[in-house]
């Protein structure tokens, strides 16, 4: 269980895309068409409560237009895809100096199990498998941002 005084802060950057892919060692590892590209940063104190809340929020976020042109439809409702990519740099601290520090980002032995739980939960909430990058790999991510629509959410503020 997380220390009650520790600020939990799983962080995501969500981009609505018409297409996105992850290439590793010059080979396409994962590719989606219409859907969401989600970068996720994990901290040690992140737990199943954070995962469940965030996954539900991502799957049901109403950022697609309905028949009246109003953002009122989720990726789940359009049968869109999700590409989930772990990105520890979302927890970069730039407070001191010009070299970002990553002390708040989880080490692989903690982050990988949390990332795997997030994949499973997001697949359940979406109703189909999500595509992923490869944890710790040097990935080349390509996307076509639709809108553009980019949303940042963290579990600390629940916004």
Share of the chain above pLDDT 70, in %: 93
Higher local confidence (pLDDT), 110 or 2? 110
**How many CB atoms lie under 10 A from the CB of residue 29?**
17
Q: How far apart are CA 67 and CA 9, in angstroms?
A: 36
Mean per-residue pLDDT, 95-106: 82
| ∠ CA 80-145-138, rounded to 5° | 90
Residues 85 and 40 sit within 8 Å (Cβ to Cβ): yes
Would you give the distance in Å from CA 138 to the centre of its chain?
A: 17
Would you give the distance in Å from CA 42 to the centre of its chain?
A: 10
Helix (H, G, I), strand (E, B), or coil: what is residue 108? Answer: helix
Helix axes 108-126, 48-60, angle to 10 degrees: 40
| pLDDT band at residue 154 under the 50/70/90 scheme | confident
Mean per-residue pLDDT, 75-95: 90
Burial class (CB within 10 angstroms; exposed 0-12, middle 13-18, buried 19+) of 58: buried
Residue 158 has pLDDT above 70, yes or no: no
* Residues tagged active-site: 89
pLDDT, tens digit (0-9, with 9 covering 90-100), for 44-77: 888 888 899 999 999 999 999 999 999 999 999 9
What six digits make up the tokens of 36? 């969401």
């Amino acid at each position: 269980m997380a220390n009650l005084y520790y600020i939990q802060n799983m962080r995501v950057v969500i981009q609505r895309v018409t297409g996105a892919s992850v290439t590793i060692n010059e080979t396409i590892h994962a590719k989606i068409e219409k859907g969401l590209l989600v970068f996720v940063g994990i901290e040690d104190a992140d737990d199943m409560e954070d995962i469940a809340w965030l996954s539900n929020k991502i799957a049901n976020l109403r950022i697609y237009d309905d028949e009246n042109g109003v953002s009122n439809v989720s990726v789940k409702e359009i049968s869109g895809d999700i590409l989930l990519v772990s990105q520890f740099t979302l927890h970069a601290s730039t407070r001191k100096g010009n070299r970002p520090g990553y002390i708040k980002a989880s080490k692989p032995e903690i982050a990988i199990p949390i990332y795997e739980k997030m994949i499973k939960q997001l697949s359940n909430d979406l109703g189909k498998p999500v595509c992923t990058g490869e944890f710790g790999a040097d990935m080349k991510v390509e996307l076509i941002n639709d809108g553009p629509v980019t949303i940042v959410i963290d579990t600390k503020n629940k916004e």
